[in-house]
Copies of this chain bind each other. A is one copy, B any other.
Amino acid sequence: MSSIQDVAALAKVSTATASRALSRPEMVADGTRKRVMKAAQQLGYQPNVLARSLRQRETRTIGLIVADILNPFHALLAKGVQDTAEEQGYVTFLFNSDEQPEKEARAIDTLRGHLPQGLIVVPTSGTREHLKTLPNLPVVELDRVSGNPQASTVTVDNVGGARAATDHLIGLGHRRIGLIVGQQDISTAVERQAGYHDALKAAGLSPCPELMRSGQHREDDGSRAATELLSMPAGQRPTALFVGNNEMTVGAVLAARELGLRIPEDLSIVGFDDSRWAQTMLPPLTVIAQPAYELGVHACEQLFGLLRGAGRPAHLQLSTELIIRHSTGPPHRS
């Protein structure tokens, strides 16, 4: 790799002038600038980002930690962030916490040494604690919130979404509606459960703990929870399920199939988060859709706001949309 020294030598100027010719063209005489440009071109010169960042104390990188890159929702978040960052000339360091606080801690530690100028994180239960090692870094929490008062947040209206899902089921005539959500230490699970509660109460139904399950976010937790709920005796078994995230929804659908329940005749299902899987499964799934890519974009924009010195943390909430497909219908008489 050729350095700016080489360029300067070839153009017969000092490194200072070479540097200025490339990054502050207006400070340099026309002829000189052209000579330097040409030299740079000839040598295929590419500035060494490390040296530049070191000197300028500005790396033009941001960190991004998602909880599960294999989950299409998170992949979309990541793409939204990364595309937006790139537009602004920023490079994204992408890490995966795999929902494990320890892995997240490691990612944060690694990140620290690379001096990102900001961090976007889909928090786990450990995030609030881990972020204390980065006291002055602008942080945006994405999709979930950790309770850290310093951080900006970009989320969806989980309560409203869950409420809409549950209302939809109630409107179809369901009275025993099961709930399956993720871990109780993740904000989205709690909020979606709250929306479910609200809807039941508003309809004069009393939330019943036996119909509610929570677990990890994984497919098999969803499948286990659904199997439990659906194995209840006929009169007590829920006639509909609201499942709080896409992975668990897959599990729930498979469990229902396993038990020979027809959807929607024997069981209605609403999932949270749309996906191609939801669109193409049979029957196509009724869902609460989230603007995943836009969440990522907005998180990144929020972060750039903070970088430009928009002092106080902001909280942006996007809305969700109920998409009615064919996995929901009136309950079977039983």
Enumerate chain A interface residues (CB-CB to B < 8 A).
Answer: 1, 44, 46-51, 53-54, 59, 69-70, 72, 75-76, 78-79, 82, 91-94, 96, 109-110, 112-115, 133, 219, 250, 253-254, 276-277, 280-282
Contact = CB atoms under 8 A, between A and B. Distances in A.
A75 B70 CA distance: 6
Given A50-B54, A70-B76, 14 more contacts: A1-B115, A48-B113, A48-B115, A50-B50, A50-B53, A50-B59, A50-B114, A69-B69, A72-B72, A91-B93, A253-B280, A254-B280, A277-B277, A280-B281
Contact of A96 (B48, B59, B79): B79
Contact of A44 (B94, B133, B250, B281): B133
A48 B59 CA distance: 12
Given A54-B54, A93-B91, A69 B75 contact: yes
Given A115-B48, A254-B280, A276-B250, A79 B69 contact: yes
Given A75-B70, A93-B91, A114-B91, A109 B281 contact: no
A93 B69 CA distance: 14
A82 B96 contact: yes
Copies in the complex: 2
Contact of A109 (B1, B46, B53, B94): B46
Nearest to A71: B75
Contacts of A78: 69
A249 to B, nearest CB: 11
A250 B281 CA distance: 11
Contact of A47 (B59, B70, B113, B277): B113
A194 to B, nearest CB: 30
Contacts of A59: 50
Contacts of A48: 54, 113, 115
A101 B257 CA distance: 43
Nearest to A76: B70
Given A1-B115, A114-B50, A282-B282, A70 B69 contact: no
A94 B48 CA distance: 19
16 contacts: A46-B109, A48-B115, A49-B114, A50-B53, A50-B114, A54-B54, A69-B69, A69-B75, A69-B78, A69-B79, A91-B110, A94-B94, A219-B276, A250-B276, A250-B280, A277-B277
A245 B17 CA distance: 53
Contacts of A91: 93, 110, 114
Given A79-B69, A277-B276, A281-B281, A49 B113 contact: yes
A96 B59 CA distance: 21
A51 B82 CA distance: 25
Nearest to A251: B280
Contacts of A276: 219, 250, 277
A79 B50 CA distance: 26
A257 to B, nearest CB: 9
A219 B275 CA distance: 14
A222 B254 CA distance: 26
Contacts of A93: 91, 93
